[in-house]
Structure formats: structure tokens, C-alpha cells
Chains A and B, each alone.
Chain A
């Protein structure tokens, strides 16, 4: 079973619609992250959370919001989707203790905003 899952895997929506992307993890990690990936730009951080009561903006948070409902769940919302939010979105988790701070990524959600 996958440790980090994302739903949906693919979504096509229209400009102005509200969209929620879900992420769940079974790794027991405290830290969770949302990234978007665009061709030629690599991964850019949208939001991150270190525990249920902690939410932090990343590099490109405008137009997005998040909710950390539980340690295992971190959702990303686009309140009013626009075409330049068309991208591949990844959720990631990290143990966050000293030592290896490897991030474990989900399979991604491909979002298209028409």
C-alpha cells in the first residue's frame, strides 16, 4: 500500500470553480507539504505544516489555502481556480527529526483549469 496517497489523481475543472486536493499518509510523519510542479520550473512549495495546529506559507501560497485536519491528512484548496494554476501537484511528508530529512512524495495530482 502506498504510504502517501493523493486524490484525485487527475482533475479537469473550469475557471472560478472551487477545488480541493486531498493528501493522506500512513507514515506517521508530523511534517506535510504541498508543492506544484511546472515544466522548466521544478517543484515549488505552496504550504507546509509541522503539526495539526501549524500552517506555514511557502514560496507561492497566493490563490491557495490548506487545512491540516489530522496528523495524517493535509488538504489543498483552490477557492477560485484560474488557468495558470494548471500544474502537477505533489504532497510530501517528512519525519522532521535530526538526521535524514528525506521527504516522501505522493503520486501527484494533475490539475487542468480551463
Chain B
């Protein structure tokens, strides 16, 4: 199976600071990536996605960077807020979108 891993299982940041969550993937054939946010007691929710023909994509307060050379994905959250506290997962997918492979998750805690 594929290996999708995160460098750090936990991350604590001060409110207002920027957060960076990293993800490594092992399959160079993966061409679609999604970041999900999972709050306590809830299912994962889509944050942002990126295709392999891009190296950067921006959303509202979030930016995803893709480095295909080193098979690395990161999620940047600007001006982190208490409501951003959650577990963040990256997921990779190939071609037809049949199966997604999820990383183990990073727990983000925002300190007021």
C-alpha cells in the first residue's frame, strides 16, 4: 500500500501566528492531494486540494504547497485561530480517484 506520513504528530501555535503542517507521500504517481480537517467528534472536512500540475494553491487563510521532487505536501494556515484546533490529514490519490490514502494526522492546538 501507499505510505502517506506526517512529519509531526502534534503542533502547538500561538493564536495569530501562522501554522505549517507537513506531509510526505511515497508514490510519485499520485496526482491529486487533499487536506482535511477533523474536529473532535466529527468526520473529516475538506479544506483544500491540489493537482500535481500545480505547486501552490491558495484558499481562504490556507495555502497548500506541493513539491513533487521530494514528494512533500504542506498546509499553511495564516493567522491561526482557536477554531483551527483540530487534526489535519493529507490524502493522496491517483488517476481515477478510486482510492484515497490518508496520512496519520497532525493534531494542531492553538494557544489563546
The interface of chain A, by Cβ under 8 A from chain B, is 4, 35, 40-45, 48, 56, 58-59, 90, 92, 94, 96, 100-108
* Residues of B with C-beta under 8 A to A35: 102
User: Interface code B34-51, partner A: CB below 8 Å = 1, 0 otherwise?
Assistant: 100000011111100100
Nearest CB on B from A27, distance (A): 13
The interface of chain B, by Cβ under 8 A from chain A, is 1, 4, 9, 32, 34, 41-46, 49, 89, 91, 93, 97-105
Contact A40 B104 (CB under 8 A): yes
- 7 further A-B contacts with Cβ under 8 Å, apart from A94-B97, A100-B49, A105-B45, are A41-B104, A42-B4, A42-B105, A59-B1, A103-B34, A103-B46, A105-B44
Contact A48 B98 (CB under 8 A): yes
Nearest CB on B from A34, distance (A): 12
* Residues of B with C-beta under 8 A to A42: 4, 89, 102-105
8 Å CB contact of B100 from A40, A45, A106: A45
Bound Cα distance from A90 to B34, whole angstroms: 17
Q: Can you report 26 residue pairs joining A to B where beta carbons are below 8 Å apart? A: A35-B102, A40-B9, A40-B104, A42-B4, A42-B102, A42-B103, A42-B104, A43-B89, A43-B91, A45-B100, A45-B101, A48-B99, A59-B99, A90-B43, A90-B44, A92-B43, A100-B49, A101-B93, A102-B34, A102-B49, A104-B46, A105-B43, A105-B44, A105-B45, A107-B43, A108-B41
Bound Cα distance from A40 to B104, whole angstroms: 6
Would you call the interface of chain A mostly helix, strand, loop, or mixed? strand
Contact A108 B104 (CB under 8 A): no
Bound Cα distance from A102 to B97, whole angstroms: 10
Nearest CB on B from A114, distance (A): 22
- CB-based closest 3 A-B pairs: A105-B43, A43-B102, A101-B97
Nearest CB on B from A104, distance (A): 8
Nearest CB on B from A74, distance (A): 15
Bound Cα distance from A96 to B96, whole angstroms: 8
Contact B49 A108 (CB under 8 A): no
8 Å CB contact of B99 from A58, A100, A107: A58
